[in-house]
Amino acid sequence: MTVFPFIVVAWILLVGLYGMVTSRHLVHQIICLIVVQSSTYVLLLGVGYVTGAVAPYYFDVPNHTPAVDPVVQALALTDVVVEAAVTALLLSFAIQAHKRFGTLDPHELAELKG
């Protein structure tokens, strides 16, 4: 249990990269990129976890109860929302590529020369 979350992180990274490399459609590639990004969220939260601690909100628990690390949660929180917008930017590139070249296959896109 002390290393299992990190093995899952490595697995998700590997699976996402495999999907990106063997993909035949740009939107499928972008979805595999989303999966790779999600492995970093799991890693961030896994690093800051303290066994037996509560969430770092002292609204209903007494002050100074042991809590998990709040800094990695702040990082992961802004991460999730910002990378959704960056994914939208990537998708708009894919839409324009489809308009110009008519295809979304990365192998064919690599061979077109303007």
Partner 1 sequence: MTEVQRRWMFLAGAAGLVAFVLWGLLGLPGFGNYPGPYGPSILRIAVAQTNATGVVSAVNFAYRGFDTVGEEFILFTAAAGVSTVLRHLRHERERSAVDEAADRDVPPTSSAVRMTALVFAGPVMVAGWWLASHAQTNPSGGFQGGVVLATAFILVYLAGEFLVFKRFSPVDLTEVVEAVGAGGFAAVGVAAVAMSLPYLTDYLGLGSIPGAVSSSGTIALISFFVGLEVAAAFILIVGEMLEQTLLIRQEDSE
Partner 2 sequence: MIAAVHTPYTVPIGFMEALQVTVLILVAAGATAVVLIRKHVRQVIALSVYGLMLALLFLTFQAPDVTLSELTVGAVALPVILLLALAKTRKREE
Interface contacts to partner 1, rule CB under 8 A: 1-7, 9-10, 13-14, 17-18, 21-22, 43, 46-51, 55-59, 63-64, 67-71, 73-75, 77-82, 84-86, 88-89, 91-93, 95-96, 99
Q: Of 34, 74, 82, nearest to 56 (Cα)?
A: 74
Burial label for 11, CB within 10 Å (0-12, 13-18, 19+), is: exposed
What's the min distance (Å) between Cβ of 20 and partner 1?
A: 9
Among 40, 46, 106, 109, binds partner 2 (CB under 8 A): 46
Q: What's at 96, amino acid-wise?
A: Q
Q: How far apart are the first and last CA of the chain?
A: 53
Query: CA geometry: angle at 85 spanning 104 and 92, to 5°?
Result: 30
Q: Which is nearer to partner 2, 50 or 112 (CB)?
A: 50
* Phi, psi for 49 (deg, rounded to 5): -80, 140
The two three-digit tokens of residue 59, written as one number: 């609204």
What's the min distance (Å) between Cβ of 30 and partner 1?
A: 13
Q: Which residues form the interface with partner 2 (CB under 8 A)?
A: 1, 4-5, 8, 11-12, 15-16, 18-19, 24-25, 27-28, 30-32, 34-35, 38-39, 41-42, 45-46, 49-55, 57, 61, 65-68, 73, 76-77, 80-81, 84, 87-88, 91-92, 94-95, 98-99, 102, 104
